Structure 1
Amino acid sequence: MAHAFDGKVAAITGAASGIGLATTEALIAAGARVVLVDRDSKALDAVCARLGANAIPLVIDLLDPASCNTLLDGILSKAGQLDIFHANAGTYIGGDLSETTPETIDRMLNLNVNAVMKNVYTVMPHMIERGTGDIIVTSSVAGHSAIPWEPVYSASKWAMTCFVQTMRRQLNKKGIRVGSVSPGPVISALLADWPEENLRKAKESGSLIEPKEVADGIMFMLSRPRNVTIRDMVILPSNFDI
């Protein structure tokens, strides 16, 4: 797959770490240029310095409406086109609803739901005009099963399951494929909010996967012939019981 994405431009939100970074590395290795979208400018600079000229930093705070609205203009000014958009940025809270706060709920839904919808709204006209494109959303297995210990997070990912499938039907006649990748627990910064005992048990039981393993699934989705859409890929650790 070394040259499979030559000439392609991808943009990935939350690209400075985790699944976003792993997917960036995979796409660059396959020949693409990647615009890394993240609010952490220092992390972006370090990652792009390591990955070279095909890694292009774009600092955007998706929780700031004015900054969020600059997404497509920023991508086009730096890379000239957009072939692949990966809406990956997200956040996590678990525990009983009574244990969280209204402010935390707002932040999660604004990033996991609203920002994704706004980002797709922003990039969609460019892809429609070109008659081609791929949109991938990072969802979660929590978007396919009601997880009682993470009601806000699970609800946000159920919303994404619905959004991806409705947008797939809206855009599939315009040359644009829309799909989602739904991992189980991934070793990433999001697990920082897990209870320490739960995290320890998950690691010991082999119930976690690496970001690269999710990126491999995304690369499979993107590399299918244009007449094939992988509408949703669920990627689980073999020992994860849900």
Structure 2
Amino acid sequence: MGMNMQALNSKVAVITGASSGIGEAIAHELSAAGCSLVVTARRTERLNALCAKLPGPSVPLSAEIDDPATAQALLAMAQQTYGRVDILINNAGMLVSGSLDTIDIDALLQMTRTNYDAVVRTSYVFARAFKQQGAGSIINVSSVGAYLSHSSMGVYAGLKQAVEVFSTALRVELKGTGVRVGTIAPGTTETEIFDQLRASGKAVPADKTPALQAADVASAVRYMLEQPAHANVARMLLVSSAESV
């Protein structure tokens, strides 16, 4: 690691959707790098199990990410526990897909609240704090879906594309403040979302194509965070080498 790389030891990171999949892998990666963590998700027992396994300091907050109070609660928890906060990883997300005739519209709009509204709120709450302290990094987890148009996944893809556009605008607004904003768009990644699709009898692309592992995405996030302060990885697309996108 070059001398001008950002050392992550002693940094404080907040990770949403940390109880499984990519969020859990990011928690392990950043904890191993020396970060102190605040981790959030809905499942209390999964969060407690995660915190018990992490090598470094961590505190859990069981909450719904789309609850308007959650973003402020996460910020306060980081500041009260560690006296500071440096990094926000907006990873929490859900996947609702299906055809026009059968899709549950209410479930789609719940996905909007989770995958977009909550990202906006949490990004703004932390960006204000980061701007005030003159430093901080926000990474919003997007998806290769942002660049694809599958007919049954239009809302999911549209929300991920919205996260990309929003994140770019926020990054530009924060230029010169010391606050960095980036997105990472993982391709097909083996997570619990696939297990849910398999259980419902839907085809899972990873069953035909070797997929990324959550740890691959986590190490890419660490790479983004370790860049020198003057360098901002604005957008990263990480796909499986077997993927046709």
TM-score, normalising length: structure 2:
0.91
Is the aligned partner of 1:239 residue 2:242? yes
Deviant stretches of 4+, over 6 Å: none
1:4-153 aligned at under 5 Å gives the runs 4-153=7-156
Q: Of 194, 209, 225, which aligns to 1:205?
A: 209
- Cα contact 2:137–2:225 (8 A) shared by 1: yes
- Cα contact 1:144–1:161 (8 A) shared by 2: no
Is the aligned partner of 1:168 residue 2:154? no
Deviation at 1:69, TM superposition (A): 4.1
Structure 1 residue identity aligned to 2:44: S
Q: Distance in 2 between matches of 1:87 and 1:154?
A: 17
Aligned CA RMSD, in angstroms, stands at 1.8
Deviation at 1:228, TM superposition (A): 0.9
Match of 1:117, SS state, is: helix
Structure 1 residue identity aligned to 2:218: A
- Cα contact 2:35–2:56 (8 A) shared by 1: no
Q: 1:96-152 deviations in whole A, cap 9, x for unaligned?
A: 233212210111000000000000111112111110000000000111222323111
- Cα contact 1:16–1:44 (8 A) shared by 2: yes
Structure 2 residue identity aligned to 1:159: A
Match of 1:181, SS state, is: strand
Consecutive unaligned residues of structure 2, counting only runs of 5 or more, are: none
The size of the alignment, in residue pairs, is 239
Match of 1:31, SS state, is: coil
Match of 2:15, SS state, is: strand
Q: Distance in 2 between matches of 1:16 and 1:180?
A: 20
Match of 2:232, SS state, is: coil
Report percent identity of matched pairs: 31
